[in-house]
Amino acid sequence: MEELFEAIFGNAFIIFAVIAGIIGFFKNSFSSDKEEKSKHSKPTNRPVPPFGGGTAKKPSNPMKRQERARDSFSTASASEQKQQQMEQLAEQIGTNLQAPLEEFQQQAKSIQNKRHDATKHLHKQKLKRQVANNLTQEGLVNGIIMAEVLGKPRAKNPYRSILSNQMKRKQIH
């Protein structure tokens, strides 16, 4: 019996599993009790719409309905309909929407041009700085090393002594 208690209390995982199971059991029973109580609670009273009275609707004009139906079923494309709606709205408001739109487009173009010029100038400055940094002694050494690394393989350009190179040149001339 002592060995059983020792095994149970010596293993923290078993203790944790037992505690989690107990908590889960009580939590589920508590939530199911709440659901049962809420099902048996009284239904809420909803306001009843008034019978008769209220606001009277204006009689609709059948001619206006026909005009609206004809306008909605027109064969104009979506962009044309949008343009017509914008014009009608402009007439109702009494403003001209084209002038602010054109002004906005010009501002957007000028901002875009300024941004392009700024990025171009920044790129030129970076390039100048990079060239200036590479003209130091360390930069030149790195350039020679990279030329050797990226150049022809040594097998295609085997080492020859200076004398053999001179003799080879004399034979060519």
Token reading at 89: 């709205």
- What DSSP state is assigned to residue 55? P
Find the helix packing angle between 2-10 and 12-39, rounded to 10°: 80
Contact indicator for 134, 128 with CB cutoff of 8 Å:
no
pLDDT, tens digit only, all 173 positions of the chain: 778 777 777 777 778 888 888 998 888 777 766 666 666 555 556 666 666 555 545 555 555 655 555 555 555 688 888 888 888 887 777 666 566 778 888 899 999 999 999 999 999 999 988 888 778 888 889 888 998 889 888 777 777 777 887 888 888 76
- 3-class secondary-structure state, position 47: coil
| The pLDDT of residue 61 | 57
| The pLDDT of residue 126 | 92
pTM, to two decimals: 0.27
CA distances from 95 to 92, 105, 160 (A): 8, 18, 87
Contact indicator for 86, 97 with CB cutoff of 8 Å:
yes
| The pLDDT of residue 110 | 92
Give the Cα-Cα-Cα angle 68, 74, 77 (nearest 5 degrees).
Answer: 130
- What DSSP state is assigned to residue 11? -
| The pLDDT of residue 163 | 83
Token reading at 143: 């350039």
DSSP secondary structure, 135-158, as one string: TSHHHHHHHHHHHHHHS--TTTS-
